[in-house]
Structure 1
Amino acid sequence: MAQLVRQQELQVRVAYHSFALQESDDASLPVPYPDEGEFGKYLNVFPGRLDFYSAGHTHTAAVTVEVWDGPPGIHDAEEWEEQ
């Protein structure tokens, strides 16, 4: 079963209904933010980048980021909106 490695709470600025988590060296990303994100889709996944959609246009969102040492167990998967 996967174990939680690290957890961090962040205040994220949402603009134009979205925000992204990405690698710190954005020069190495094949698709720069916000290019190619699908509007209205909760999670868009790209190499080195995750885009999140929000129903609110511009606001600050409380986000909790977790790093795990493996994928969630089958029984845990039902609790996640996206994987």
Structure 2
Amino acid sequence: MGITSQNLPQMVVKDKPEIRTVWLCSSSSSSSKVVLVVVVVKVEVVVVVVVVVVVVVVVVVVVVVVVVVLVVVLMRMYETVNI
């Protein structure tokens, strides 16, 4: 139990700067691939997979919300034009 309790805070401390670098550099698409490679080298694969899954889920949710909003706006525009 002592080993796991010592490893957990180290993992938390290691994750925070890595995730920050990913978020900072994700805005520029050119360096995002390099940052992802660096993160894979530094952090364990499980953490990287979790971060990637979370980012993908967030992107999908944002895209779905935008599409729904656009469809609703277009439907209202068509209704007003038809009436």
TM-score scaled by structure 2?
0.22
Higher helix share: 2
Structure number with higher relative contact order (C-alpha < 8 Å, ≥ 6 residues apart): 1
